[in-house]
Amino acid sequence: MSVHYPTLFSPIRLGKHTIRNRVWMAAHATLLVKDHLFTQAHLDYYAERARHGVGVITMEAMAVHPTTQPYKGKAFAFDPRMVPEYRKIADAVHAHGAKILCQPWHRGRETSSVTNGLPVWAPSSIPCAVYREMPHVMTVSDIKEIIEGYRLSARYAREGGLDGVEVHALSHGYLLNQFLSPATNHRNDAFGGSLENRMRIVLEILDATRQETGPDMIVGVRINSDDGHEGGLRPGDWAEIAQRLEATGHLDYISCSHGTYLNRMLIYPTAPQEHGFQMGATRRIKEAVKLPVVGVGRIVTPEEAERHLAAGDCDFVALARALVADPAWVSKAARGEGAKVRPCVGANWCMSSIFAQAPIACIHNPAAGNERELGEETLKPAARPKTVAVVGGGPAGLRAALTAAKRGHRVVLFEKSAMLGGQVALWAKAPSRVELTGVARWLQDRLAETDAEIRLNTEATARGLRAEGFETVIVAAGARGLRHGWTPLRPQRWNHAPMPGTEQPHVFSYIDYLRAEPALGPNVIVADALGGRQGAVVAEVLASKGHSVEFVTQLGQGSPDLAASRDWGKVHGMLKRMGVRFTVDAEIVGIDAAGVAIRDVYTQTVERRTPVHGVVFMLGAAAEDTLFHELLPARADGLDLRLIGDAMAPRRASDAIREGEIVARDI
């Protein structure tokens, strides 16, 4: 038991098993699956978290039937080919003392037929608010197929040497939740109407699961403690359901979550969100049953976990994104080094990566999903330490400097401004993005533990770097914002004369505005040509200062890229409550001292806005690569010269950090 977090590190019985601590790795998609089977990368991913002390791991949700395939990278729990794959993962995880469970599940209406060409199945023909596809109303025969899929999933879990099965789909609006909720179950047969009937499929699945696992394996269930929407099941309803589930005698625990696809920010909310926001409803479940209860809900630090466990809100704390960000979360907490945990900052880059059909990733843990290549334990000391200059103190430069220093190189980091963090620090000026400071703060704190030298307010020059005799120079100087006024709809003008009026002192690029935060008059236009988070960040900063803000974009909606992180609705709702007005399908075509001309991109009609006291453009950025090109001739003399991050091409913080890690490993 750790003296630092005594409840967190106390053992607990789970069925016939003893769990070494109260940390549970919650299931989450990885897209590491190939041909519906696990891969070596999947094994490495779970083994890394087990090695660092996680008590229980629930693997990602696995389909119980071919009709639930949201994307091709989905494991089939009903496929006997899973058995040898389970054995490999179980052996790897058991070697480190953790327990591992599978999570059979079916999405029901919350998917589409695009991937597999099969109709969407649901208890009633009600389309999902996200996918909007009309489902096939399941027959009794279909229901029996689903029950059999759960049965086979449990059988193969036992044959594969797993420790247990977590029956999923009662939460998050998935198939069994759809049967349970009167909002989505409009049936008039034995599987609809009364709660007893609506629970029938669940109880038959639990019967089948326990028959297959026998008495020794762990069997649990993932439920909601609050659906969080009108007509859905609320905490009192779920407490009654939990009692009925417990009464079956088949369960060893109940795991609680929140939300459906009507309100996905209750499932995996971005910042800002109160940490532990689900615990009030979870406590209702714990008070209703005697079984151990697992709780989730933006638990980020060991202190937060200990507090909820000690308060009796739950018996286990489940972490997903926190363990994506730092697989060593548990081992650091056990050593009393909670402050060294790489924090989950609620950016949901993990979700954005999955949305792009790419494997699991983290905004500032480049090893997530790449443990074999980039895991901490794979870092090797340099064969010969070198003198390394890193130019730029943003995410790319900080990561490169940290990794190079850990490998034994003599590192000097040059930053021409008075602060580190680059654009991450600027974005964190928005009240809702304050947690982003954790990206730069963690890197700075770890860098301070090395022998690296940091020179703030120091602009590196080619002559100076050569004079100091650096053997390697990593240029990570970031990018400068553009304010020429032309959107990508005018490519022929992009690198030519700026739009007249953009040279005025009240016109800014988003980087320049966030860096200086100049005083502006009441009416400000945010002109976004990118569709990313930049426009939302600037609009929030301006609105929080009391400005009247109009968000103008040539796109069909403001910041559409936020659909990938799932918080588009959350952010737009926040901005609208702050008074931000959106003008879409429009671009600025003229600026003068009095106002701005805005043209509809489809009708070409032009409207004037007056008075306008400030314009902030999101037109992208230009790479700060001048120093790199000045140093290029020195390569002939043996200089090892590298270009990374926005200085290579302005993109995302995750790209910058990954490139910083990779280049520092290559020196």
Query: Minimum mean pLDDT among 72-76, 81-85, 368-372, 414-418: which range?
Result: 72-76
What is the distance between the alpha carbons of residues 191 and 242, in angstroms, rounded to a whole number? 18
What is the rounded average pLDDT of the residues 378-397? 97
Residue 50's pLDDT is what? 98
Residue 177: both structure tokens together: 């939740």
What is the distance between the alpha carbons of residues 552 and 530, in angstroms, rounded to a whole number? 11
Residue 309: both structure tokens together: 């466990």
Helix (H, G, I), strand (E, B) or coil at 3: coil
Residue 1's pLDDT is what? 59
pLDDT tens-digit profile of 585-628?
999 999 999 999 999 999 999 999 999 999 999 999 999 999 99
How much is the CA Rg of the chain, to the nearest whole Å?
A: 27
Q: Which residues on adjacent β-strands are paired with residue 550?
A: 525, 581
pLDDT tens-digit profile of 274-298?
999 999 999 999 999 999 999 999 9
What is the rounded average pLDDT of the residues 76-85? 97
Residue 265: both structure tokens together: 């920010």
State the catalytic residues: 174
CATH of the domain spanning 482-620: 3.50.50.60
Q: Residue 70: pLDDT above 90?
A: no
Q: Return the residue matching tokens 């200990």.
A: 306
Looking at domain 12-374, its CATH architecture is: Alpha-Beta Barrel (3.20)
- Beta-carbon contacts of 221 under 8 Å, excluding residues fewer than 6 positions away, are 166, 167, 168, 170, 206, 245, 251, 254, 255
CA 330 to chain centre: 19
What is the distance between the alpha carbons of residues 657 and 646, in angstroms, rounded to a whole number? 10
What is the rounded average pLDDT of the residues 344-364? 94
Residue 496's pLDDT is what? 87
> Mean pLDDT of all residues in the chain?
97
Q: Residue 262: pLDDT above 90?
A: yes
How large is the angle between the packed helices 82-94 and 140-159, nearest 10 degrees?
Answer: 50
Residue 73's pLDDT is what? 83
Annotate 651-666 with DSSP letters as a single string. --HHHHHHHHHHHHHT
Residue 255's pLDDT is what? 98
> Which H or E run includes 444?
helix 437-448
| In the chain, where the domains are located | 12-374, 379-478+624-665, 482-620
What is the distance between the alpha carbons of residues 273 and 251, in angstroms, rounded to a whole number? 31
Helix (H, G, I), strand (E, B) or coil at 211: helix
pLDDT tens-digit profile of 543-576?
999 999 999 999 999 999 999 999 999 999 999 9
What is the rounded average pLDDT of the residues 627-636? 97
Residue 87's pLDDT is what? 98
What is the distance between the alpha carbons of residues 216 and 201, in angstroms, rounded to a whole number? 24
pLDDT tens-digit profile of 466-479?
999 999 999 999 99
Residue 68's pLDDT is what? 95
What is the distance between the alpha carbons of residues 446 and 443, in angstroms, rounded to a whole number? 5
pLDDT tens-digit profile of 447-496?
999 999 999 999 999 999 999 999 999 999 999 999 999 999 999 998 88
Of 81, 16, 28, 87, residue with least CA distance to 57: 28
pLDDT tens-digit profile of 172-224?
999 999 999 999 999 999 999 999 999 999 999 999 999 999 999 999 999 99
Multiple choice CATH, 379-478+624-665, 3.40.50.300, 3.30.200.190, 3.40.50.620, 3.40.50.720: 3.40.50.720
